[in-house]
Structure formats: structure tokens, C-alpha cells
Structure 1
């Protein structure tokens, strides 16, 4: 059981994986800083400190950073984990009529906003803390209609790999901050409930939360689950590219 003196910040904490993860961290004795856009939803998260901001609005992120720093200092809390979970999913249904606005919107929400969150929150993290980035197992294979979502999550995965190198090489300045890239398979959330295709081996948000907690606690770099599903994707990804195209071209239609 973790002590109450440890704090974790979780974005996108008012629904889905973020909500389940916030609740699970509470059961493990963590001081949970739950972040989201909806003040009422945060108020309903009993036991958490709610930090209201929109990850797509830079000014709100910067103000949240100031508020968080004051809160941590006032309560003498070390910020030992940050999980940047907030994101969105939209599909490009017709690549001939490519929706560039949709593409930009998803990239901004899922990737660009993460850069601003890292700028805001990384300097506040304690020694030997852990940063978690919510990527996706969708990055393992080139799924149809997923150009925006997949590109945003692939960017996050690379960002995590690169951050890990620089944080390790500057350990004197970064005090041993580690990085985890979280790659879920299908998880039952309000977001995936909108999908119009089969989602094999889908697990609950509560099951995902336990896997995230255990992976972050053990400082794993890649946290992927459910493993029987993600290992299958990894294995299939080794096939020649033309085989993958033939296999996947109708998978999400």
C-alpha cells in the first residue's frame, strides 16, 4: 500500500480509463489529483482533488500548473506520478475526401496538448517519479480509417521513447524520472462504445486501471494489455507489408 504522501496527477479523469484509474489509485492510498474539463464531474469524484482545465487550451494548462505547484507546496506532497491520459478518437471515413480539419483536431488533442502538459508538469515531478503517456495498441498495425488517431498515438509512443533517453542521460537534472508508454487494447469506455466494428478481447476500465497501476509502480517502459491481444498484434505486425494491407483493409469497415 502506497502512503498518502504520494500524489498522482491524472488527466481525463472524469470518464473511462482515467476515471477508473483515479479510483483505483485512491484505494492504494495515493493522493489523487484528478484533471478534467467538467467541474461537476470532478466534484463527484470523492476523495480526489479536482484540477479543472482543458488540455487543448494552453492558457488553462499554464494556469493549472501554477495552481498545482501551490497545492503541492501547501500540502507538502511529492508528485510521484503523472498520467497524461486525456484524448479523443475520430475516424476518417473517406480518405479520398480527406478531412484535414478532423486530422488536425485529433493530432492537437492527442499529441500537441501532451507537449504543453509535459512543459507544465514535468518540472513539478519529484525525484524517481514516473511519467505515463496514454498511447494505444493501434500503433502496432496500420488500421483503416485510423490515420488521425493512429498517427497521434504513434507520435506519443515515439515521444515517450525519446523522452526516456533524454531523461536518463540528464539524470542529475531530472532526478531519475522514468517514462511509461501505455498501450491498451480494446477497453470498454464511452469512447469505444461509439465504435462501429468488432472489438475482440475487450476488457473493463477497472481491469485496465489495475494494469496501469502495476506497470507504473514497477516503472515498466511499455505497459500493454490485455497481453494475449497485444502480443497477437505484435506478432501479426511482423508480416510483410503487402500481406498486412490485404489482411487489414476491411477490418474496421
Structure 2
């Protein structure tokens, strides 16, 4: 397969690039860290091509991604997380998070969609954080809820073109981004485990690839509880 992955210079995206390359696929690894891209290429010179990319830059994203054709699988994994201090409410924080997680992801879709054909798969990476109102996660959780909604809608609209749209709902994964968290992260998994779960879900065509399975089941069950119970549950987690 020909695969394009954003957010490939660290975390889940980087591990996916390595694992798909190791399996013999051709990967376009996109990200801001050019040294990390060079490292990936050096590890798999015949299977990974690096593409410097900052999805917060609309013009650069269009120029970089619109040139790729014959892509079988797109995984949009680039994302950021910032937590809100409600005593010093900052609307600009929301703009920064949404500009990458939502608008930046849609910039990639805009640039790549004309090149996708029947049989292609588009994967948007969200988060289980969308399921409950977690403390301080107003911007991050809302952005990932938006990604899930968009994926579900695109799945309907792109079905007529034969393009499959999937969504990923990771729990806590051991990455540089989660390393900044100052709270307990239950059932945290490695990037290797995350990559395996995502690749297996894509191969099966699972719409919402959620892992760890038990953590996802707990949060999905909690999301169906009355709102006051959800808030109590979230307070206990925090």
C-alpha cells in the first residue's frame, strides 16, 4: 500500500510509520521535526519518504499534500493538547488547539481528497476524551468531539465515492504529549500497542477503533449515564 501519515515525527504517528514500513508498505511520513523525518527515512530508506509539514500553515499544507497521488491509506494523526486554567480563562488556547486538531486536520482532507479514489481509506485520529466532560480538557475534548462528528459525517458522504472513513479513539498512550500530564493516566498503553490496535482496526474496517478496549468500554458506558453522574465520575478521575 501507499500510505500517508501526519504527525509521524513522534508518538502514535511515528510508530505507525515504522510498523507499516517494516511490513513492506510505502509511507509518506509528514511532520514538523525534520530531524525525526530524516531518522525515519534512514531506518527505512526504501519504504519511508519524509515530508516536512506544519498543518497549522494552510498554504504550505495545500502545496505539500496536493502533489501526492495513488494514496491507498491516509492517517491524520497530528494533534496538540493544552489544558485550560479556568481561573485565567484563555480563548486563544481554544483557537490554538482547534486550529491544529480540527482545522489543520481538515486542511489535510481538503488537499488530499481530490487524490483519493475508490478503495482508499481515510482515518482521522480523535480521542476517548470526547466521551466525558473531563476537567481542564474543555478545548482538547471539544476538538476531538468535533473530529469524531466530522469522521462520522464524512463516512456517509464519501461512501458514494467508495472511500472508507474510519475514526480512532485512543485512551492514554505513552507519548511525548502525555508525558507532560501531571495526573494519573489509567490503563496507559505503549505506542507499539496503540499501533497494533490501529492497524488491526483499519484492516478490519472498524469505524471507531477504540483502545484499550476495557478503558473505552468504561468511558462509553459512563457517557450514557445522566449528566450529573458523568460529572461525578469525571471529578473522581481528576
For residues 98-153 of structure 1, give each alpha carbon's deviation from its aligned partner in whole angstroms, at most 9, with x where no partner exists.
Answer: 11011110011100111111010111123211100010011111111000000100
Detail structure 1 runs of 4+ shifted over 6 Å in the superposition.
Answer: none
TM-score, with structure 2 as normaliser: 0.94
Q: Which residue of 1 aligns with 2:59?
A: 59
Q: Which runs of 5+ in 2 are unaligned?
A: none
Matched, 1:193 2:204: no
- In 2: Cα distance, 1:65 partner to 1:190 partner: 25
* Contact 1:62 1:120 (C-alpha < 8 Å) held by counterparts: yes
| 3-state SS, counterpart of residue 249 of structure 1 | helix
TM-score, with structure 1 as normaliser: 0.89
Alignment of 1:127-206 (within 5 A): 127-168=118-159, 171=160, 174=161, 176-206=162-192
Matched, 1:28 2:23: yes
For residues 65-93 of structure 1, give each alpha carbon's deviation from its aligned partner in whole angstroms, at most 9, with x where no partner exists.
Answer: 24434xxxxxxxx3110000000000002
- In 1: Cα distance, 2:98 partner to 2:156 partner: 23
Q: Which residue of 1 aligns with 2:76?
A: 84
| 3-state SS, counterpart of residue 32 of structure 1 | strand
Q: Which residue of 1 aligns with 2:32?
A: 37
Q: CA RMSD in A?
A: 1.2
Q: Which residue of 1 aligns with 2:7?
A: 12
| 3-state SS, counterpart of residue 123 of structure 2 | strand
Q: Which residue of 2 aligns with 1:3?
A: none
Aligned residues: 233
Q: Which residue of 2 aligns with 1:213?
A: 199
Q: Which runs of 5+ in 1 are unaligned?
A: 1-5, 70-77
| 3-state SS, counterpart of residue 56 of structure 1 | coil
* Contact 2:66 2:112 (C-alpha < 8 Å) held by counterparts: no
